[in-house]
Structure 1
Amino acid sequence: MELPNKTSLTLNATKNKLDNQQKSNKHDQKSNSQRKEPREWCLNDFEMGIPLGEGRFGRVYMAKEKTSKKIVAIKILSKQEVKENEMVNQLKYEVEIQSHLRHGNILRLYGYFRDKHYVYLVLEYAEKGELYMLLQRDSPFTEHKAASYIFQMADALLYLHNKKVIHRDLKLENILLSNNDKIKISDFGLAIHAPDTSQMKRRTLCGTPDYMAPEMFIDTGYDQRIDLWALGVLCYELLVGEPPFMVENFNELRQRIATVDYKIPDQISLEAKVLISSLLQSDPEKRLPLDHVTTHPWILKNK
């Protein structure tokens, strides 16, 4: 199973122009010629620690990089299982996209290495783990805490969408927390990058049903605004303690999402209700833009 070379990982569809290369002066050329390529990691470079979680194709472990003493998370994926489930391209996309993202609320992918049987992704370590587990313990969150988290998510999504990246699988399990309560959006396995705006409309049905926007169930296509819908679901979930469309039957769930059939409990503030309803709009055109989310009165009042 071949992953892209580190030098080929890019979110920019165009190559560097020749005139940019010609701007280098002789001093730069000399220093570049003396610069050594970074040594690639191997498993022996890390002290493996406790397991942090288990996914479909492998596990995530805490680890320490021996040279720097830096604590990281290592996601270990079985090559055989990835191949058997035809997920090779998806893994390539995950590496290509996440390795180039630089935002304080997006989990860093520092690099990867591989051996005969496994692929290892070296990730930023988020000390507090999944937001899902925190909500299970402290459900529901105060409006102050929820607003802080939603603001951080919205700011990260604004960055992603400016990079023409759609996450497509925003959910509590894919939101991690650091020790200072900093949100870290993770798991870009279903993310897609479309630098050409004419390619932004997608038709692949993917994601987690409770968080899927209405347009994902019909064949009209969808774009980055499905992430806005998921943000609305997350806002509701943080404040109420459960998703707005929680039913066990998939067809009933799809019907409730299509008709936007949900109710916000009375104890939720009016400002929060307005924000949730402005994101959970069946028409993507009517969903509140992310730059308006970050400056929404409820956010500014509580974050």
Structure 2
Amino acid sequence: SQNKENYEPRGFQRPFATPSMVAGPQRVTGNPHLLTYKHHPDLRKCPGRECVGSSSTSVAKKVTIDDFDIGRPLGKGKFGNVYLARVKKLQAIVALKVLFKSQMEKEGVEHQLRREIEIQAHLKHPNILRFYNYFHDRKRVFLVLEYAPRGEMYKELQRCGRFDDQRTATYMEEISDALMYCHEKKVIHRDIKPENLLLGYRGELKIADFGWSVHAPSLRRRTMCGTLDYLPPEMIEGHTHSEKVDLWCIGVLCYECLVGNPPFETASHSDTYKRIMKVDLKFPKIVSDGARDLISKLLRHNPIDRLSLQSVIDHPWVRSNSHRLLPPSYPAKKS
């Protein structure tokens, strides 16, 4: 359920853009002061509350807003807001995304929300933001999500200017592993970019936005979606596309992490399109030879020629620089 300025050059749109609802929780500084819903106008009680499903059980469990202590806002978007929240019974901290039905109906994105929920609810990977549950009342839909304490990668990139080889290579290994998991389940993300990536407690990357994702058994799609700077040639040309669009996107991501801006960014749509179509790739001196080799093998006009995700993980530059720490996802097995 994403309705961002996806076709504006990001160098010009970002300073004026508000955090997307679908991008998940944003960074919170200091200790969160948890409040009750009465402190937030859009979280006040509405008649007709009911739960419509759960991602963790086959039998729907009744959940309402009264099951949560609501804290400070974490982000704002066109369809509502994201709040820090605490599950009262479990004392667990989560991110609660509140979407207004009227706004979604007005924009005609209800189907995107259904698809996002259906896809993300079935994904369990340490580098993918967990989707725990959802419920709704007469006016709103509530999504219960994992809370990522370190916020958006994009904000961190803005703060740092650019990332070094070690940090970027670590992110490349993490996102490649997560996308391999998605592709095995026939899920294409289609909108990988720093704004849609969050950072967990240990700084680990987490894919957070599945608003443009598709579950595509045929892996043949024509929809043009995503952010202009990250669009692959086959989408611009209107050709069918497959999971290999994600390979192009992580190539652009790798470049942006190392340089601080996307490789094909220009002041106009048409010039950006032309550079993408020609794969007009220029590296500043700060980019190492190993990183250039990896990026060049991902940003290929023909999708078939792009480096596979496993090959990204096995790439010498990634192997020599990555310091990936897998967060624990399951209890250790007893010997």
User: Is 1:260 paired with 2:279?
Assistant: yes
> Which one of the candidate residues 209, 234, 243 is aligned to 2:253?
234
Shift in Å, 1:56: 2.4
Q: Secondary structure at the match of 1:294?
A: helix
Gaps of 5+ in 1: 11-34
User: Is 1:106 paired with 2:144?
Assistant: no
Distance 1:56 1:155 in 2: 31
Name the stretch that deviates more: 120-129 or 243-252: 243-252
TM-score (norm 2): 0.79
* Aligned-CA RMSD value: 1.9
Q: Deviations over 1:138-178 (max 9, x none)?
A: 12111001101111011000100111000011110000001
Q: Secondary structure at the match of 2:97?
A: strand
Distance 2:59 2:183 in 1: 32
Shift in Å, 1:248: 2.5
What's 1:57 paired with? 79
What's 2:93 paired with? 71
Shift in Å, 1:40: 2.1
Q: Secondary structure at the match of 1:74?
A: strand
What's 1:131 paired with? 153
Shift in Å, 1:55: 2.0
Distance 1:270 1:48, change over 3 A: same
Q: Secondary structure at the match of 2:253?
A: helix
User: Is 1:193 paired with 2:215?
Assistant: yes
Shift in Å, 1:179: 1.8
Greater gyration radius: 1
Q: Secondary structure at the match of 2:71?
A: strand
Shift in Å, 1:36: 10
What's 2:242 paired with? 223
Q: Deviations over 1:102-151 (max 9, x none)?
A: 10000011010101100000000000000000000112111001101111
1:112/1:121 contact within 8 Å kept: yes
Shift in Å, 1:37: 4.5
Gaps of 5+ in 2: 1-49, 323-335
Q: Secondary structure at the match of 2:221?
A: coil
> Which one of the candidate residues 295, 299, 302 is aligned to 2:314?
295
Distance 1:262 1:296 in 2: 20
What's 1:6 paired with? 53
Name the stretch that deviates more: 38-47 or 147-156: 38-47
What is the aligned-residue identity percentage?
46
> Aligned pairs, how many?
273
Aligned residue identity for 2:53:
K
Distance 1:38 1:119 in 2: 16
Q: Secondary structure at the match of 1:268?
A: coil
Aligned residue identity for 1:289:
S
Higher helix share: 1
1:4/1:92 contact within 8 Å kept: no
What's 1:89 paired with? 111
TM-score (norm 1): 0.87
